[in-house]
Chain A
Amino acid sequence: MKVWFKNRPIFAPGSRTLLGRRLVWALTAFVVASPLAAAQQAPPAPAAPLPRFVVVLDAAHGGDDTGGHFVDGQLEKALTLALSERLRSLLGARGIQVVTTRESDAAIDPNERAEIANHVQAQACISLHATESGSGIHLYASSLAPTQPTLFPAWKIAQAAWVTRSIALEGTLNSALLEAGMSVTLGRTSLPAMDSMTCPAVAVEIAPELGPDKKVVSALDDPAYQARVATALAAALVEWRTEAHP
């Protein structure tokens, strides 16, 4: 290879021109000296940072989208927001970074919720819902068939590559809730926001706790019931962090 300037070679490997010799020496000195200088000036290596662990809390509904209307006048959007705030505090106290999709009574599009979750590349995405149907806690993973990750997944089925991890997260949440003495129902479903999330995602739906005679033992708006659920979910996510980064 030769480098030309004004029809004269100024550098060629093995050339004996003055400029060529100087360039070769300069380059050689730079290559040899740089690592030595860097080694002398570099500060002592810091301890390896802890692996990043982020949880996304998605309080369902909000704004005009009220969600379910319950008999005592409560709205699903208010219950999910209250639970999200409670769970965020518990997770923060345990050193877990939390990103929420909403912190006020604002309408958030399902696509926007998925965008927030996908942007932070979370290790767990929890979508919070409430209902008066059924009993106890309902845990739902996406009903999409598992697929291999691809570079450009389709938006509406992006969760398919994460379904296996989502089911594992569902299992961890189930264990913690059962340990806390709550009845749990597991299932698969298709929710617009969750099916577009590229993270282990589970929808947690809270229903009133019913006794054997089908009478309400713990109502949806019972603060003690909400606290029990939030504490169990926080314990499960701490366990999930340990599993994700042993």
Chain B
Amino acid sequence: MIPRHQKLLFGILLLASLIMGVTLWRLRERAHQRLIAGQDSAPTSAPEVAPAVEATLLVASDNDNSLLTQLRSLPLPADPGARARVVLGKLLDLYAAPDAAHPVPGGGASVLQVFLLPAPYFGSRSLTPVKSDPGKSDAEAADTVAVPQLAVVNLTGSFAANHPSGIETETLTVLSICGTLHANLPRVTQVRFLVDGKPRATLAGHADLTRTYLAAEAVSNEGTHP
């Protein structure tokens, strides 16, 4: 003889199983409908490609320890942070090429993010407003002065681990990144570095990554020995 409370429990469990089965069936139907609807919303027009603009790259050369300006036509996004990442990615792609004068493995994927922040006080340069468009005269640019910015470049750990070791090669990499950022985003006056989102003492045993670099240091060395 089965007790009454066990019959009651069996009935409840059976009812719950039926409800869950129906719910599962309905969810499956909904997922199927969603999948069919997704096929209907396939893109029918080509995505918009950012117009190509001229980007300035400060390319390092180990042969004569110099930074030389190269102009490249690149499709750049409007957002300054994304634009900085694309430009630096192109610069590091040049270094990863087989015949590079400054060989550094890793390429454009080595730049994880570039964050742009208002520049904190550092010496006297950051307090001086900068012209947002270097092509304008002082009078024209008077109305368009912008607050200087600090760029925080987040590199991958593999880039730092595989970077050739040496004062010259590491210094050239750091200065070319700083100079390229300043050439394309004139508001960037200071640059700091992170590796995998964390501070790191040196790039590959030599160049100090804990300090704030003034972008003007690299630009002043452009075309000459740093």
The interface of chain A, by Cβ under 8 A from chain B, is 61, 65, 67-69, 76, 110, 129, 131-135, 138, 140, 143, 145, 156, 185-192, 195, 203, 205, 207
Contacts and interface: CB of A to CB of B under 8 A. Distances in A.
Contacts of B168: 131, 133-134, 138, 140, 185, 187, 205, 207
B65 A190 contact: no
A222 B206 CA distance: 23
Contact of A188 (B63, B206, B226): B226
Interface residues of B, number: 25
Contact of A205 (B63, B167, B208): B167
A186 B207 CA distance: 16
A207 B205 CA distance: 16
A61 B166 contact: no
A133 B202 contact: no
Given A143-B217, A156-B211, A187-B225, A192 B169 contact: no
Interface in B137-196: 164-169, 171
Contacts of A185: 64-65, 168, 225
B217 A203 contact: no
A68 B166 contact: yes
A185 B66 CA distance: 10
A131 B208 contact: no
B210 interface: yes
Nearest to A77: B205
B206 A191 contact: yes
B10 to A, nearest CB: 68
Interface in B191-226: 201-202, 204-208, 210-211, 213, 217, 225-226
B208 A192 contact: yes
A77 B211 CA distance: 24
Contacts of B217: 143
A68 B164 contact: yes
A132 B201 contact: no
A133 B207 CA distance: 14
B133 interface: no
Interface string B62-73: 111100000000
A207 B204 CA distance: 16
A43 B21 CA distance: 113
A68 B165 contact: yes
B226 A131 contact: no
Which 8 pairs of residues, A with B, have the shortest CB-CB distance? A131-B166, A68-B165, A133-B169, A190-B208, A189-B171, A133-B166, A185-B65, A205-B167
A31 B56 CA distance: 80
Among A143, A190, A203: residue with most chain B CB under 10 A: A190
Contacts of B211: 156, 190, 195
A140 B201 contact: no
A156 B201 CA distance: 13
A67 B171 contact: no
B120 to A, nearest CB: 16
Contacts of B226: 187-189
A119 to B, nearest CB: 22
A133 B205 contact: no
B218 to A, nearest CB: 10
B167 A191 contact: yes
Among B166, B169, B171: residue with most chain A CB under 10 A: B166
A211 to B, nearest CB: 13
Contacts of A191: 167, 206-208
A71 to B, nearest CB: 11
A113 B123 CA distance: 27
Given A189-B207, A192-B208, A195-B208, A131 B202 contact: no
A143 B178 CA distance: 14
A189 B175 CA distance: 9
Interface in B68-111: none
